Amino acid sequence: MGIRSTGFSWVAVALMLGAAATASAQEVLKLGEGETLTVSGFINVTLFTDRSRFGNFGQGQNAEWAAQTELSTDKLFTDGDIRNTRISFDFKAQPVLGTWAPRGVLELDLFGGQDLPPFGDEQPRLRGRLAYADLSNGRTTLRIGQYWSPMFGEVPVSLSHLAFPLGYGAAGMVGWRFPGVFLYQELLAADGPATAQLQLAAFEGSGPPASAEDALPVNAIGSGEASGLPQLEARLNFGRKSETLRWGAYLVGHADWKDTTGTGVEGDNLTAWGFEAGGNVAPGRLTVHGNYYYGKALGQQFAHITQQGNVRGWGAWGQAGYDFTPSWSLWAFFGIDDPDETRFAKDNPTLPALARQVNRDADALLRFKAGRYALGLEWFRAMTRWNTGRTDADQFALGVMYSL
């Protein structure tokens, strides 16, 4: 969409976005020529106290596993985080080829980096999350752009961990977003009680740079990109809903290849593979959901406690929630990711021992909801076994969300 001869301009977009901020949730704005814009997202704030430090990803809303060195004294610190805050722009146009209509989506959040205290941590930068264009006739959708890989399935409920969900890259929650081509085919009528969908995807190869030259910023070529081959995934969704029971399930298969010597050097590709199964069931006020994965060299999909290379392992998580009233609910989460450190040592005899050998995450959330507003008290704990020993870290959080 660009500036139109009808007098439409980006000034008008700014005015309409301002109006959307005070309008109802996911307000649909008419732009002319049959095009609409839906603005959605949420404002999310987490105030937290940590006991000891979390590792690699960071503290606050992206805490996932305990740091390798646990604090021996003066373990507590308190902070705040707004980086989960997200906004999405969804443009839709009228059909252009029979019943086929185009759509474009751009989604942003505030995980684009931040500077050090005392002032930089209060000014996080924007990050592009999703950007894609669809062509759909309702039953078949062709999507080209950056979107979630089919391995990104069930998502745990939380008010502190949203952009980095509970257990993400740490305790069985896997999947990432990539530029690519995605095909979605509905297998059953959308208005029936049962649903079935096939997803096929071919998207950008990914992995860490395999050589010093590829790691230069001017090159920035990962081992997956260097293979010249895409990642491939297929997923089958199916489910059913009634007045008393709702359930859904999915199966995913994955394959990709990584050039372990990078560009400009002869070498063999490492074949990566994996599968995942997950789902949810909601009888009445109770909700139970989770997933399980097993695979090899899936670090770019946040598997193996987000460790790259020739690693094998599995992960799983489960969460149960109960709605005591329409406003009050209680949620409990547990997940584990367990790379095979013994197999890693056998397959990679010249490399040091695998650093993160097993991680377990636990979480409890008491949530209050009233319309677009949600407030929660949450406890999150990571228990991580490194090759140097076990460390633990805890987070106690007050989270608030306002849904746009």
Domain residue spans of the chain? 26-403
**DSSP conformational letter for 9:** -
Least confident of 99-103, 253-257, 260-264: 260-264
Evaluate if residue 370 carries a pLDDT over 50. yes
Phi (first) and psi of residue 24, to 5 degrees: -70, 165
> CA 93, CA 42: separation in Å to the nearest integer?
24
Q: Which of 18, 23, 10 is nearest to 404 (CA)?
A: 23
Evaluate if residue 26 carries a pLDDT over 80. no
Determine the pLDDT at residue 304: 98
Q: Which tens digit of pLDDT belongs to each residue from 189-239? A: 777 889 999 999 999 999 999 888 888 889 889 999 999 999 999 999 999
The whole-number average pLDDT for the span 255-284 is: 93
Confidence class of residue 120 from pLDDT cuts 50, 70 and 90?
A: confident
Reported pTM? 0.89
DSSP 265-310: S--PEEEEEEEEEEEEEEETTEEEEEEEEEEES-GGGT-TTT--SS
Tracing tokens 């636990």 back to the chain, one arrives at 362
Q: What average pLDDT does the structure give for the chain?
A: 92
Q: Which CATH superfamily is domain 26-403 in?
A: Porin (2.40.160.10)
> CA 62, CA 97: separation in Å to the nearest integer?
43
In sign, the C-alpha dihedral spanning 296, 302, 304, 310 is positive
